[in-house]
Amino acid sequence: MVYRVFRSDVIAAGLLFVLSAAVFVVSADFPAGRGGDPGAALFPRLITGTIAVLALGLLVKDLTASERSAHEIDPTVVRRLAVVVAFPTIYIFAMPILGFPLTTVAFLAGLMWYSGARSVPVVLGSSIGVMLVLYYLFGVLFQVPLPEGLVPIDAVLPSIVVGLI
């Protein structure tokens, strides 16, 4: 069975507006910068503002189009999309419990495995490498508090590297 979806651009634009509004609301609690710095909310709000402007363009394009087309969606595509949406959802809910390092490595490794990567050293090495870059970029350089969860971040990361920064 194939589903036919009409006005998919309107639906997508609406979902992007909801996402943008949610990010603006959540980022209101981010710490303010010191000495006139914009603070931690600047980057997410800049990105989500750009997304909202592009969504507005998508909405205007669809509403001014002379032809309306329908998209056919196969249930297997819907299932694959549901799995890809489930990954970040589980990631968000598991992070406060398990902590940033463990959850990020598991999330990235699982998503890469689901996407077809089958080399265990590449999957684990990439996941750990990306987690370390994100940790040092946001946790150390930008000083964004990252959830520690059950295992403190310092206990997971190599102490030699943590001692250098």
Residues 105 and 121 in one domain: yes
Residue 15 has pLDDT above 70, yes or no: yes
Residues 99 and 43 in one domain: no
The answer, as to whether pTM is greater than 0.75, is: no
Is residue 23 within 8 Å of 45, Cβ to Cβ? yes
Residues 84 and 138 in one domain: yes
| Res. 123 pLDDT band, cuts 50 70 90 | very high
The pLDDT of residue 5 is: 81
The pLDDT of residue 160 is: 46
The pLDDT of residue 164 is: 52
Residues 126 and 161 in one domain: yes
Q: What angle do CA 123, 48, 88 make, to 5 degrees?
A: 30
The pLDDT of residue 3 is: 79
For 28-77, what is each residue's pLDDT tens digit? 888 888 877 778 889 999 999 999 999 999 999 988 988 877 778 888 88
Average pLDDT of span 141-149: 84
The pLDDT of residue 151 is: 73
Residues 158 and 78 in one domain: yes
Select from 41, 73, 105 the last residue of a domain: 73
Select from 73, 99, 133 the last residue of a domain: 73
Select from 48, 73, 98 the last residue of a domain: 73
Residue 154 has pLDDT above 80, yes or no: no
The pLDDT of residue 161 is: 52
Residues 92 and 41 in one domain: no
The pLDDT of residue 111 is: 93
Beta-bridged to residue 73, according to DSSP, are 3
Domain that holds residue 30: 1-73
Per the structure, the count of domains in the chain is: 2
Residues 19 and 44 in one domain: yes
Residues 99 and 24 in one domain: no
DSSP secondary structure, 52-79, as one string: HHHHHHHHHHHHH-S---EEEE-HHHHH
Residue 94 has pLDDT above 80, yes or no: yes
